[in-house]
Amino acid sequence: MYSWGNYDDTLYTHYKNPQDHEKHLERLKVLVTEAETTGGGKVPPGLYAEYGYALYEAGRMDEAVIFFGKEKEKWPESAVIMDKMTRNVQRQEEIRKSQTTKDTGSTPEPGGQKQ
Amino acid sequence: MNRKPAAVFVSILAFLAVSGCATAPKKDLTAFKSENPRSVLVIPVVNKTVEVNAADYFLSTLSMPVAERGYYVFPVDVVKHLLENDGLADSAMVHGADTMKLCNLFGADSVLYVSIERWDAQYLVLTTQVTVAFDYTIKGCKTGDTLWNHKQTMVYSPQNQGGGGGVGALVAMAINAAMTKAMPNYMPLARQANGMAFKYPDGPGFPSGPYHPDYMKDLATSK
C-alpha cells in the first residue's frame, strides 16, 4: 500500500552505525522524496516523523516541526506524540534563544545545546 | 547434470529452502475485534538470544508488515528514543512496564510486544542451518488485555538438491556453508517470519486495519 523504499535497511544501517547522523538524515530524505514523487504520495506511516526526528537531532528545528506536522496531518493517530515532539522542540528553541540573548557574542550551535 | 559449472554456480547462489511451522488452529480474535484498534505501537524487541544486535535489526523489519495490514504504526526509531529519554532504555523494562502507561504516553490503541526466542546458526560440515523463532503479542489499550498472540519459527538451510552429488556439488555445499558462516544474514528470514505471522485471513494474523481496503470486510472470515 505504501512506497517504503529501503526503509528497513535504512533503520538497520542506522542501528549498526548510530553515530552516522548525517548519512541517516540524507537516506531518510531520499525515502521521503521518493515516496512523495515516484511513490505517488504513498508515504508510509512513521516516515515523516522519523525524518522530523533526524532533523531535530541535527538541530534543524524549524524543519523538524514541519515534518512532525506532516505526520500528524496525514495520520491523525499520531497527534498525541507529534504534538509532544513539537512542544519539545519549541521549548528547546525558547531556551536557546534566551541563552543567545544573554551570552552576547557567542552564537551556540543549534542542536548542540544541552541544558 | 549438476556438475556443469553453471549448475554449481546456481547452487552456490543458494536457493534457500524455507519452512514454516505447522498451521496453528484458528485464533480467537473476539477481543481484537471488539477493541478494533487503529494504531499499533511497536516497542523495542526483547532479545532472549546471544546475538547482540538481533533486537535492533528485527525492530527495523516490523513497521512494514504491520502498516501493510492497514494500521497506523508509530515511528519505531522515534519511539525507541522517547522511551530511552523516559528512563526505559532496556527493552525488558519497556515490556515490563504498564501497558496503559505506554498507551497513554503515545496515544496508541494497541501495543505490539515482540521477543526473539531463537536467532542462531548451526554450523554443520557441509551446510549451515539458520533458525529464528519469534513471539508476537498485541495488547489493547482499552483493557490492557492480549488481543492476539503468535509464535513463529522459521528454519532455513541451503538447499542441497540433486541426489547425484559428486565433487562439484560437495564443493558447492562447502562454499555455501562457509559463506553463511562468515556472514549470516538474518534480515530476509526475519521479513519472511513477519510475513507468515501477520498473514490473514489464510494465516495466523489479525483482521485488516482502517487503512486497508479489506477493513471490516475480512472480519467474518475467521470466527
What number is the ipTM of this complex? 0.87
The C-alpha atoms of residue B76 and residue B65 are separated, in whole angstroms, by 13
Q: What is the mean pLDDT of residues B20-38?
A: 81
**Domain boundaries in chain B?**
5-9+27-204
Report, as an integer, the average pLDDT of A76-97: 94
Count of domains for chain A: 1
| The predicted structure's pLDDT at residue B3 | 47
Look at residue B23 and tell me whether its pLDDT is greater than 60: no
Report the range of poorest mean pLDDT among A97-101, B116-120, B160-164, B189-193.
B160-164
Interchain CB distance below 8 Å, A12 and B60: yes
Query: What pLDDT score does A114 carry?
Result: 46
Q: Which residues of A touch B57 (CB under 8 A)?
A: 12, 15
Say if CB A25 and CB A54 are below 8 A apart.
Answer: yes
Specify the higher pLDDT residue, A57 or B223: A57
Distance (Å) from the C-alpha of residue A109 to the closest C-alpha of chain B? 22
Residues of A engaging B, defined by a Cβ cutoff of 8 Å: 1-2, 4, 7-9, 11-12, 14-16, 44-47, 49-50, 53, 71, 75, 77-81, 85
CATH of the domain at A25: 1.25.40.10
What does the alpha-carbon distance between residue B222 and residue B30 come to, in Å, rounded to a whole number?
Answer: 10
Would you say residue A21 has pLDDT above 70?
Answer: yes
* β strands within chain B, DSSP E: 16-20, 39-42, 46-47, 72-73, 110-123, 128-140, 146-158
In a domain, A69, yes or no: yes
pLDDT of residue B128: 78
Inter-chain residue contact B109 with A8, CB threshold 8 Å:
no
Chain A residues with CB-CB distance to B191 below 8 A:
8
pLDDT at B137 over 60: yes
Residue (of A38, A33, A60, A37) closest to A48 by Cα position: A33
Q: Is B118 on the interface with A (CB under 8 A)?
A: no
Judged by DSSP in three states, B198 sits in coil
Instruction: Classify B19 as helix, strand or coil.
Output: strand
Nearest to B76 among A4, A46, A80 (CB): A46
Residue B186, chain A, CB below 8 Å: the answer is no
Residues of B in contact with A50 (CB under 8 A): 75, 77-78
Q: How far is CA B13 from CA A78, B16, B19, in A?
A: 43, 9, 19
Q: Does the CB of B152 have a partner CB in chain A at under 8 Å?
A: no
pTM over cut 0.90: no
Under DSSP, the state recorded for A62 is H
Is A42 part of a structural domain of the chain? yes
Residue A2 inside a domain? The answer is no
Q: Over the stretch A34-73, which tens digit does the pLDDT of each residue have? A: 999 999 999 999 999 999 999 999 999 999 999 999 999 9
**Buried-state track B150-178, b at ≥16 Cβ within 10 A, e below 16:** bebbbbbbbebeeeeeeebbeebbebbbe
* Segments forming the whole domain that contains residue A61: 7-100
Domain membership flag for residue A35? yes
User: What dotted CATH number matches B5-9+27-204?
Assistant: 3.40.50.10610
pLDDT at B122: 82
Cell 487503512 belongs to B211
With respect to residue A15, please indicate whether it lies within any of the assigned structural domains.
Answer: yes
- Is residue A89 domain-resident? yes
Q: Do A68 and A86 form a contact (C-beta atoms < 8 A)?
A: yes
The residue-averaged pLDDT of B38-49 equals: 97
Say whether the peptide bond before residue B201 is cis (omega within 30 degrees of 0). yes
Contact B81 A78 (CB under 8 A): no
How many Cα atoms sit within 13 Å of A72 on the Cβ side?
17
- pLDDT reading at B21 higher than 60: no
